[in-house]
Amino acid sequence: MSQEINCIIVDDEPMAREIIEGYLQKIPFLHLIQSCKNVQEAIEITSKRKVDLIFLDIHMPEISGMSFARIIDKKVKVIFTTAYREYAVEGFDIQALDYLLKPISFERFQQAVNKYKNLSSRSPIQDKTNEIKQAPSTFLFVRADRKMVKINFDEIVFIESLSDYIKIHLTESPLVTRETISSMEVKLPQREFMRIHRSFIIALNKITSYTNEFIEIGQQELPLSRSYKEAVLNRLSDI
């Protein structure tokens, strides 16, 4: 395969990242975009860059690799790199390309990469069939009022953090559920939503205007924080 494969590594252990980085350097067609220490960094990179393959740890602070894998675009393939054998079945249930147990040998790493090469050489008809089978979800369920409530993505205006709770502002009435904003972020489709502040996630199609300091949705002005500003403004300039 002559075409470069764009990769990222997501692992909170520096030594684990260094090992995978070293393996990637030995395979010319693998191009490392970034080595991320948490899922938040990975979300930011995948929202801005084309990523083909992710080497993903499972046990990480705040947001697990398994949660992240569930919301990644199905065109992006995942190879889990973990010390925990017990998640293998769940990993393959979400159609991970491979599941590598630490310590990972270079030979085993190469086998996983070869799976990607074989997969990418399939015919367009096969790929189209898989796209149909893996059609993205248009809704999610959240717990509220002692029951699981269905929320369609197109009804969400923005999401506000209330510490251990979040307030989901909908086109009709808002809904409050016990969940962190970071855990909710990984459940939302990245093409439609974006984090603009540690306390706010917005629906991109609900934006009415924006500046370098805030995003306006309807009559509501939401602050654009310094840490998210560059990524947000770059994303909006491309729309």
Predicted local confidence at residue 84, as pLDDT:
84
Q: List domains and CATH numbers for the chain.
A: 5-133 (3.40.50.2300), 139-237 (2.40.50.1020)
Report the predicted TM-score, pTM, of the whole model to 2 decimal places.
0.56
Predicted local confidence at residue 129, as pLDDT:
47
Question: Coil, strand or helix: which one is 54?
Answer: strand
Contact indicator for 186, 63 with CB cutoff of 8 Å: yes
| pLDDT of 124 strictly over 60 | no
Predicted local confidence at residue 159, as pLDDT:
97
**What is the distance between the alpha carbons of residues 156 and 4, in angstroms, rounded to a whole number?**
37
Contact indicator for 120, 109 with CB cutoff of 8 Å: no
Give the helix/strand (H/E) hosting 40.
Answer: helix 39-48
Higher pLDDT, 32 or 134: 32
* Average pLDDT, integer, range 144-150: 89
Predicted local confidence at residue 81, as pLDDT:
94
Predicted local confidence at residue 92, as pLDDT:
67
pLDDT per residue over 76-97, tens digit each? 999 999 988 877 777 767 778 8
Query: What is the pLDDT confidence band of residue 125, given thresholds at 50, 70 and 90?
Result: very low
